[in-house]
Amino acid sequence: MIARKTAPRSRAKLAPKAAPKTTPRSDDPTVVKVALGARSYDIVIGRGIMASLGARVAALRPSARVAIVTDQNVARLHLGAVAAAFADAGIPASRVLVAGGEGAKSFRGFEEVCEAIIAARVERGDLVVALGGGVIGDLAGFAAAAVRRGLDYVQVPTTLLAQVDSSVGGKTAINSVHGKNLIGAFHQPILVLADTATLDTLPAREFRAGYAEVAKYGLIGDAAFFSWLEANWRDVFSARDASGSVARELAIAVSCRAKAAIVARDERETGERALLNLGHTFGHALEAACGFSDRLLHGEAVAAGMALAFGFSARQRLLQKSEAARAIRHLAEVGLPTRLKNIPGGPPPLEALMELIAQDKKVKRGMLTLILARGIGAAFVASGVEERDVRAFLSEKLAEQ
């Protein structure tokens, strides 16, 4: 039997909204506030706004120096512009470069970043700047939480996934051999600056993987947004003309507003914020089983996990099969994996998946907690999920041809 846990206010807050309207693009960036009292901060979203980074940081911390943490790939594309923005604002900046990829989110990577920040003589009043995708944001944010017992930091996300999800909300972490993001801390940034122009350099596969997190916001609590994505996803994927640029920025802004609202109500994931993990229990298990490698990107794993979550919800008769099929169809239409057989190299074995699912952060006293759905835009926290039901479901999915 599935025990349904829904935060008292979340049903009203997550009710379907009016479909977003694509209006002519303004030169002014969109600003979304994450309302956390004295620790509130802005998410600034716009095309070509990287040059304003130095002035924005100087306004927040007038005398601070910065340590820019990035990976080698991002450094080649964007470090020069970021360094110039700080130089123009008269802000001294040191650089910490790490290897790219999920493998950097390890104890070794964490140690290297911490030691480099300390070696750069970054003090308690200075800042760490996370320049890159979700890996860099998680790693640099966790280092900022730990070095000198806590440094402030700024997120400068350069991937779609990071701009709509991992840069917002203060979750920082590294991976364990037992699973993804099991070692970390809640540590909020003081600013998120999302320059959508950085997405122009993103490989198509990584952009597509990031789109999984955009679709997630519609599937969780905004049926109208999901319908809009079904009609406009091609414009979101292509920013070569004005309509594409507007659609992309609108999708990012709607996603950030959705996450900011949930984080403001449940910063530490004691209730409603768990909804943001739709697809992540299955997805993290798949990602870990694939060795946290390019074999399966995080967003791809989340897409497969959301397909499994909707399929399992239908199997449990929580929603109509046609509704689950619609959600899965859209993810497949944009090119995301939705079936276990789609995983490059073949799906992991059942026992490996079940062992990893048992290590999920939402497990309580050995009982599984999954984010399931009563429909598109109607996700809920389901506690007390029977392990045998999940095992039987995954066994069926693994047997599909």
Could you tell me the CATH number of the domain that includes residue 88?
Answer: 3.40.50.1970
| Residue-level pLDDT at 7 | 40
Q: Which of 163, 178, 202 is the last residue of a domain?
A: 202
Which residue among 208, 248, 257, 259 is the active-site one? 259
Domain membership flag for residue 238: no
- The distance of Cα 59 from the centroid of its chain, to the nearest Å, equals 27
Q: Which of 202, 217, 236 is the last residue of a domain?
A: 202
Least confident of 12-16, 41-45, 363-367, 389-393: 12-16
The answer to whether the CB of 172 falls within 8 A of the CB of 184 is yes
Cα–Cα distance, 251 to 164 (Å, whole number):
9
| Residue-level pLDDT at 336 | 98
**pLDDT for 18 beyond 60:** yes
Active site residue 273: yes
Domain of 262, CATH number, reads 1.20.1090.10
Active site residue 248: no
| Same domain as 152, residue 46 | yes
| Same domain as 39, residue 154 | yes
Kindly report the pTM of this predicted structure: 0.90
Domain membership flag for residue 297: yes
Give the domain extent around 323: 3-10+252-399
Angstrom distances, CA of residue 222 to CA of 102, 333, 376, 378: 30, 20, 8, 8
Kind and range of the H or E run holding 210 = helix 204-221
Which residue among 280, 330, 361, 397 is the active-site one? 280
| Same domain as 44, residue 153 | yes
Which residue among 284, 330, 361, 397 is the active-site one? 284
Active site residue 277: yes
| Residue-level pLDDT at 15 | 39
| Residue-level pLDDT at 360 | 79
Which residue among 149, 317, 365, 388 is the active-site one? 149
| Residue-level pLDDT at 6 | 46
Which residue among 47, 78, 105, 171 is the active-site one? 171
Domain membership flag for residue 269: yes
Which residue among 269, 287, 300, 323 is the active-site one? 269
Please give the average per-residue pLDDT across 117-130, as a whole number. Answer: 97
220 strand-pairing partners: none
Half-sphere exposure (Cβ direction) of 19: Cα atoms closer than 13 Å: 11
Cα–Cα distance, 279 to 219 (Å, whole number):
10
| Same domain as 262, residue 139 | no
Cα–Cα distance, 336 to 359 (Å, whole number):
25
Cα–Cα distance, 207 to 154 (Å, whole number):
22
Instruction: Produce one character per residue of 300-322: b if its CB has 16 or more CB atoms within 10 Å, e if not.
Output: bbbbbbbbbbbbbbbbbebbeee
Active site residue 105: no
| Same domain as 167, residue 288 | no
Active site residue 213: yes
Domain membership flag for residue 220: no
Active site residue 259: yes
DSSP β-ladder status, 127-132 and 66-71: parallel
| Same domain as 195, residue 276 | no
Kind and range of the H or E run holding 46 = strand 41-46
Main-chain dihedrals φ then ψ at residue 197, nearest 5 degrees? -65, -25
Could you tell me the pLDDT band of residue 100, with boundaries at 50, 70 and 90? Answer: confident
130 strand-pairing partners: 69, 155
| Same domain as 273, residue 384 | yes
| Residue-level pLDDT at 244 | 63
| Residue-level pLDDT at 240 | 58
| Same domain as 183, residue 88 | yes
Report how many helices (DSSP H) and strands (DSSP E) the chain contains, helices first.
Answer: 15, 12
| Same domain as 257, residue 198 | no
Return the ∠ at Cα 114 (arms to 111 and 119), rounded to 5°: 120
| Same domain as 284, residue 161 | no
| Same domain as 190, residue 105 | yes
Q: Which residue is listed with tokens 């709509």?
A: 164
| Same domain as 313, residue 171 | no
Which residue among 102, 267, 277, 323 is the active-site one? 277
| Residue-level pLDDT at 178 | 87
The answer to whether the CB of 354 falls within 8 A of the CB of 394 is yes
**Token code pair at residue 48:** 């070509």
Domain membership flag for residue 317: yes
**pLDDT for 8 beyond 50:** no
| Residue-level pLDDT at 373 | 98
Domain membership flag for residue 355: yes
Q: Which of 138, 167, 202 is the last residue of a domain?
A: 202
Phi-psi region of 338 (alpha: psi -120 to 50; beta: other; left: phi over 0): alpha
Mean pLDDT in the chain? 92
In the chain, how many domains are there?
Answer: 2
Domain membership flag for residue 305: yes
Active site residue 342: no
Active site residue 269: yes
